Amino acid sequence: MRVAVVDIGTNSTRLLVADVVDGTVATELARESIVTRLGQGVDATWRLADEAMDRVFDVLAKYREHIDQLGVERHVAVLTSAVRDSANGEEFRATVKERFDLDARVLEGTEEAALTFLGATSERA
Distance of CA 66 to the CA centre of its chain: 14
Q: What is the pLDDT of residues 17-30, one digit of tens each?
A: 999 999 888 899 99
pLDDT at residue 119 in the model: 63
pLDDT at residue 122 in the model: 65
Conformational region of residue 55, where left means phi above 0, alpha means psi within -120 to 50, and beta covers everything else: alpha
- Quote the crossing angle between the two packed helices 50-69 and 89-100, to the nearest 10°: 30
Q: Report how far residue 18's alpha carbon sits from residue 66's, in angstroms, rounded to the nearest whole number.
A: 12
- Spell out, as residue ranges, where the chain has pLDDT lower than 50: 125
pLDDT at residue 24 in the model: 86
pLDDT at residue 10 in the model: 95
Q: What is the total residue count of the chain?
A: 125
DSSP 15-58: EEEEEEETTEEEEEEEEEEEE--TTTTHHHHSS--HHHHHHHHH
DSSP 107: P
**Which residue type occupies 98?**
E
pLDDT at residue 15 in the model: 98
pLDDT at residue 118 in the model: 61
CB 48 within 8 A of CB 36: no
In the chain the domains, ranked by start, together with CATH numbers, are 2-121 (3.30.420.40)
pLDDT at residue 83 in the model: 95
Distance of CA 111 to the CA centre of its chain: 14
